[in-house]
């Protein structure tokens, strides 16, 4: 694919836009290596530092990754709902660490998305998804009986898988990406702060949610998800 300079745009913007368009249009596909910085600079008629700035933006957007070394370079990432989930998770985690948003704000958005998602999951889940939800809950119960620390990270990784699958069962991949990203940020904090005596109550809530989805009980699924998020809010809110 050839590139041409666009004088109406700033040099970095023209590089960034044309590369982004080429990736989105699949002129460059997932796994493809982009031309070198020197080649791009020559083709766009800009400096290598300008190309480097444009590539840095595309890395931050999750469109490409940089691999160092002799066999490295800039490689196109797969652009789908899974890559969006990874990008959102990383961004949310960074923003939370810097205190730009609060955990309460994340929980509020989780409530806006996950309560409707639970209802949608009960209405649209497939038999395979129902079976996998039941398997995950059973695995979580077995692990809870086997471990000495009820806050074992593996238990909450299973919990995250369950809630991500609930969102996936809603049938909306974009919704599932947002839910998985926020659960990935919230659950580790919840795991750290959850009192031991409440760990079983949290798992009981998960069992109730899955049972409602399996039974195609939309109202029950909505109520169970609301109760779970209420528990999260009590333990993570500064006032809780």
For residue 102, give the CATH number of its domain: 1.20.120.530
In a domain, 71, yes or no: yes
pLDDT of residue 240: 47
pLDDT of residue 109: 86
pLDDT of residue 2: 66
Q: Residues 6 or more apart from 172 whose CB is under 8 A from it?
A: 117, 120
DSSP letter string, 41-84 = HHHHTS-HHHHHHHHHHHHHTTSEEEE-STT-EEEEPP-SHHHH
User: 221 near 209, Cβ under 8 Å?
Assistant: yes
Of 177, 166, 179, 237, the closest CA to residue 206 belongs to: 166
Are 162 and 67 members of one domain? Answer: no
Are 114 and 21 members of one domain? Answer: no
> How many helices and strands (H and E) does the chain possess?
10, 2
User: 158 near 65, Cβ under 8 Å?
Assistant: no
Are 186 and 217 members of one domain? Answer: yes
pLDDT of residue 177: 82
Are 92 and 183 members of one domain? Answer: yes
Mean pLDDT by 10 residues, the chain (240 residues): 62 89 83 92 92 88 81 79 59 64 80 94 97 94 79 74 91 86 71 70 91 98 94 68
Place of tokens 């400096």: 47
CA 108/CA 128 separation, integer angstroms: 30
Final residue before a domain boundary, out of 33, 52, 76: 76
Are 134 and 64 members of one domain? Answer: no
Of 156, 163, 178, 171, the closest CA to residue 133 belongs to: 163
Are 171 and 229 members of one domain? Answer: yes
Count the domains in the chain.
Answer: 2
Are 181 and 216 members of one domain? Answer: yes
Domain residue limits at 37 = 11-76
Are 44 and 88 members of one domain? Answer: no
Are 199 and 146 members of one domain? Answer: yes
pLDDT of residue 117: 95
Q: Residues 6 or more apart from 29 whose CB is under 8 A from it?
A: 76
User: 151 near 194, Cβ under 8 Å?
Assistant: yes
Are 207 and 153 members of one domain? Answer: yes
CA 233/CA 194 separation, integer angstroms: 11
Q: Please write down the HEC assignment for all residues of 179-229.
A: HHHHHHHHHHHHHHHCCHHHHHHHHHHHHHHHHHHHCCCHHHHHHHHHHHH
């Amino acid at each position: 694919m050839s590139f041409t300079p666009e004088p109406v745009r700033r040099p970095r913007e023209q590089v960034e836009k044309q590369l982004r368009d080429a990736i989105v249009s699949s002129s460059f596909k997932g796994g493809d290596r982009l031309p070198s910085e020197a080649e791009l600079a020559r083709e766009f008629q800009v400096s290598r530092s300008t190309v480097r700035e444009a590539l840095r933006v595309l890395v931050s957007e999750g469109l490409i990754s940089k691999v160092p070394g002799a066999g490295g370079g800039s490689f196109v990432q797969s652009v789908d709902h899974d890559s969006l989930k990874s990008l959102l998770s990383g961004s949310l985690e960074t923003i939370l660490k810097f205190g730009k948003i609060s955990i309460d704000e994340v929980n509020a958005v989780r409530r806006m998305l996950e309560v409707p998602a639970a209802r949608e999951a009960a209405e649209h889940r497939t038999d395979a998804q129902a079976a996998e939800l039941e398997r995950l809950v059973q695995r979580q119960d077995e692990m809870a009986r086997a471990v000495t620390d009820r806050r074992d990270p593996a238990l909450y990784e299973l919990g995250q898988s369950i809630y991500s699958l609930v969102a996936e069962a809603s049938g909306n991949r974009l919704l599932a990406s947002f839910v998985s990203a926020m659960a990935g940020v919230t659950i580790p904090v919840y795991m750290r702060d959850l009192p031991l005596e409440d760990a079983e109550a949290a798992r009981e809530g998960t069992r109730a949610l899955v049972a409602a989805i399996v039974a195609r009980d939309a109202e029950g699924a909505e109520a169970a998800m609301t109760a779970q998020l209420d528990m999260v809010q009590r333990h993570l809110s500064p006032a809780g």
